[in-house]
Amino acid sequence: MFSMAITPTPTVLVTGAGGQTGQIVYKKLKERPDQFVARGLVRTEESKGKIGGADDVYVGDIRDAGSIVPAIQGTDFLIILTSAVPKVKPGFDPTKGGRPEYYYEEGAYPEQVDWLGQKNQIDAAKAAGVKQIVLVWKRKAEQYLADSGIPYTIIRAGGLLDKEGGIRELIVGKDDEILQTPTKAIAREDVAEVGIQALLFEESKYKAFDLASKPEDAGTPTKDFKALFASVTSKF
């Protein structure tokens, strides 16, 4: 008797799924049920409601390692899109011009969210046997991920823009070279797409790269992600 090996559809957890880029990744994953089973992790019930409130959205706080476990159990891939979110200091009046001042809430400084919170996610993923982690730009957590032994893809995105994705040529580089150029910005939709495509090609594994895009009227929109990842030579 023959038994056909059926590869089950991989489950992908995106954390920060209520955030600006996380929302896009979660939506894109849900639109590709033939390729992925989507899961999201958000911090609050409010964020869960904002992205549709489905049962595949877990509520947890990445500063509390135990609260990540239910979401990560049985997950094949992890895309980390959590970020400490600065708040505008009260009293800022946009009609008067100038720049607002920002602050972090007690307990929600980058040290707690971006370092410890991401370390918790990497540890939980390792314990759960996650096969690959995609991380968007967090220096200290990047080093920890690279040292973890889990296949990783580290995307150091330029300034994130709320613009349409899929219509610009993407450029990858290393050592901040492209981030010094006028093309240092990138649409959140493009970052989301690159994060998902990284799960589909071996060429993305054990790589870290800067990611930006050419202006819309210059270059050819990137469609061949395998070639894009293959062109990256930097491991960290």
Ligand X SMILES: NC(=O)c1ccc[n+]([C@@H]2O[C@H](COP(=O)([O-])OP(=O)(O)OC[C@H]3O[C@@H](n4cnc5c(N)ncnc54)[C@H](OP(=O)(O)O)[C@@H]3O)[C@@H](O)[C@H]2O)c1
User: Is residue 65 a contact residue for ligand X (CB under 6 A)?
Assistant: no
Of the candidate residues 13, 29, 37, 62, the single one contacting ligand X (CB under 6 A): 62
Q: How far apart are CA 2 and CA 23, in angstroms?
A: 42
75 φ/ψ angles, rounded to the nearest 5 degrees? -90, 140
Dihedral over alpha carbons 164, 190, 184, 115 (to 10 degrees): 130
Residue, CB closest to ligand X: 19
User: Is residue 210 a contact residue for ligand X (CB under 6 A)?
Assistant: no
Of the candidate residues 65, 160, 179, 200, the single one contacting ligand X (CB under 6 A): 160
User: Is residue 16 a contact residue for ligand X (CB under 6 A)?
Assistant: yes
User: Is residue 21 a contact residue for ligand X (CB under 6 A)?
Assistant: yes
Our CB check for ligand X shows the closer of 110 and 219 to be 110
Which residues within the stretch 123-142 sit at the binding site for ligand X (CB under 6 A)? 136-137
Contact segment (CB under 6 A) with ligand X among 43-51, 119-127, 213-221, 226-234 equals: 43-51
Structural tokens at position 159: 């300034």
Our CB check for ligand X shows the closer of 63 and 214 to be 63
> What b/e string do you get for 16-44 counting C-beta neighbours within 10 Å, with b at 16 or more?
bbbbebbbbbbbbbbeeeeebbbbbbbbe
With contacts defined by CB under 6 A, how many residues of the chain interact with ligand X? 25
Our CB check for ligand X shows the closer of 230 and 234 to be 234
- The number of angstroms, rounded, from the C-alpha of 228 to the middle of its chain's C-alpha atoms is 17
Q: How far apart are CA 173 and CA 167, in angstroms?
A: 19
CB 201 within 8 A of CB 132: no
Of the candidate residues 12, 29, 47, 168, the single one contacting ligand X (CB under 6 A): 47
User: CA-CA distances (angstroms) from residue 187 to 2, 163, 193?
Assistant: 48, 5, 10
Of the candidate residues 61, 76, 190, 193, the single one contacting ligand X (CB under 6 A): 61
What are the residues binding ligand X (CB under 6 A)? 16, 18-22, 42-44, 47, 61-63, 81-83, 85, 113, 117, 136-137, 157, 159-160, 188
